[in-house]
Amino acid sequence: MTSRLLTPDICIIGAGSGGLSVAAAAAAFGVEVVLIEKGRMGGDCLNYGCVPSKSLIAVAALAHDARSGRALGLNAGEPVLDYGLTHAHIHDVIATIAPHDSVERFEALGVTVLQDHARFVDERTVEAGEVRVRARRFVIATGSSPAVPPIPGLDTVGSLTNETIFDLKTRPDHLIIIGGGPIGIELAQAYRRLGAQVSVVEAATVLAREDREAAAVVRAALRDEGVALHEATKVVRVETDEAGIAVIVEAQEGEGRLSGSHLLVAVGRTANTESLGLDVAGIDHDKRGIQVDQAMRTSNRRVYAIGDVAGGLQFTHAANYHAGLVVRAILFRLPIRNRPVLVPRVTYSDPELAHVGLSEAEARESHGDSLKVLRAPFAENDRARAEARTEGFVKLVADRRGRILGATIVGDRAGELIGLWSLAVSRRLKVSAIAGLVLPYPTLSEAGKRAAVSFYTDSLDNPWVRRLVRFLRIFG
């Protein structure tokens, strides 16, 4: 059978956030685009990740607020959960957003959508079913999938991942989570707030990538709410028992056993590169994903890779950032450079933990003793006090001239507050720019300004500054 041949300007493989962003932008400029997706439009974020998890977290937050209101004089009683309605809410949110990412919408934009598996058959041709696509440029945006560790017995107990846990129509009685990264921690807290017992098993430390001080605040909150954290603990094997699932663990004190009703595996993600024919296309790749240069270009000059599959940051907004870069490169021939340091990240625990730029440890490596670390606790912020949400702090790292190198926020609505600091890092602003802002009172954003102002604390005791003030007093 002869394959139909398409010759668009751009062929995109993968209809997750990054791929859809490239397709929409290119089509808006009248560029001929072919988009290939074998699974659900919208990718992981819409169907299994950001959207369902934040919908679940929202329900869990309401339950927690009902309980915690007692301390402020509002005794609403123990919330009664109807998990069937929670399940319906999650999938209603997905269904509401799905039309924006649908085949119909993108075909209306002028994009040719092929719903099939894509694989390279040579360096400049991709095959999808009975169609061959020979494009001027290709963009691989196939995302990633949950990593499954080689734990004995794991394949026999019916474990869950983020791709299957949102299909549950009843709440787990005791959820055991392997992995203490952002996904594991967010879902651990959410299910605990919904009334489940939750145990987290982590081989290292919870949120190990994050600032130690900030992670400690989240860790304390989880324990206060009753989440059992088993850190520095190795999973030896998994088996079934009378409770449902047993996880055999090994820690410093010896071997132990955790029994629960459900098991969630959240140990990271693996780039989706299998069956793409990358070797045939001359595209270098390894276990982390497709290797790209600073311009997101692969070893095949016709092919770009963006998002999770590019082996770096695995966030929806990072994929969208990459998409913007390659659109500028492909359509306008502009030079581009991927700068991962500009991409913020947020763990949507409560309190939230957000970061952008260099961490304190990274900044010390590059700036040594000249580094300045500035802090402002939420306990000294009037809005946080009024709402009884005083956990956490804002931490800034700046060089000796006051240029902002990075920011970490742990506290209420940290994910919303980090936006200002993303701008500061991307525009290489100094703390003086933030210290001079006029912010509404009372708001949590004032904590960031307070941290910025603290850069000048040393000048209060500077003898030269004091002499200048005395001198200027002479002139009235």
Strand-pairing partners, residue 303, are: 138
Q: Which of 85, 95, 33 is nearest to 62 (CA)?
A: 85
Give the CA angle between residues 422, 50, 272 to the nearest 5°.
100
The Cα–Cα gap between 140 and 432 comes to: 42
Whether omega before 172 lies within 30 degrees of 0, making that bond cis, reads no
- Whose tokens are 């941290």? That residue is 451
Phi and psi angles of residue 332, each rounded to the nearest 5 degrees, phi first: -115, 0
21 appears as a binding residue in the annotation: no
From its phi and psi, is residue 195 left (phi > 0), alpha (psi between -120 and 50) or beta? left
Read off the amino acid at residue 390. Answer: T
Q: Give the contacts of 208 (CB within 8 A, at least 6 positions apart).
A: 180, 181, 202, 215
30 appears as a binding residue in the annotation: no
The Cα–Cα gap between 57 and 211 comes to: 23
The Cα–Cα gap between 405 and 411 comes to: 20
186 appears as a binding residue in the annotation: yes
The Cα–Cα gap between 50 and 53 comes to: 5
| Cβ(35)–Cβ(111) below 8 Å | yes
Q: Give the contacts of 272 (CB within 8 A, at least 6 positions apart).
A: 14, 142, 143, 144, 145, 308, 309
287 appears as a binding residue in the annotation: no
308 appears as a binding residue in the annotation: yes
142 appears as a binding residue in the annotation: yes
144 appears as a binding residue in the annotation: yes
181 appears as a binding residue in the annotation: yes
From its phi and psi, is residue 333 left (phi > 0), alpha (psi between -120 and 50) or beta? left
| Cβ(233)–Cβ(147) below 8 Å | no
- What token pair was written down for 435? 């210290």
13 appears as a binding residue in the annotation: no
Q: List Cα–Cα distances, 128 to 11, 22, 33, 35, in angstroms.
A: 11, 19, 15, 10
The Cα–Cα gap between 194 and 174 comes to: 11
The Cα–Cα gap between 216 and 395 comes to: 14
The Cα–Cα gap between 7 and 125 comes to: 9
180 appears as a binding residue in the annotation: yes
DSSP states of 238-269: EEEETTEEEEEEEETTEEEEEEESEEEE-S-E
312 appears as a binding residue in the annotation: no
268 appears as a binding residue in the annotation: yes
- Whose tokens are 């997706």? That residue is 37
Helices 445-453, 414-426: axis angle to 10 degrees equals 40
39 appears as a binding residue in the annotation: no
| Cβ(332)–Cβ(324) below 8 Å | no
Residues that constitute the known binding site for FAD:
54, 142-144, 308
- Binding residues for NAD(+), by number, are 179-186, 202, 268
- Which parts are annotated binding residues? 54, 142-144, 179-186, 202, 268, 308
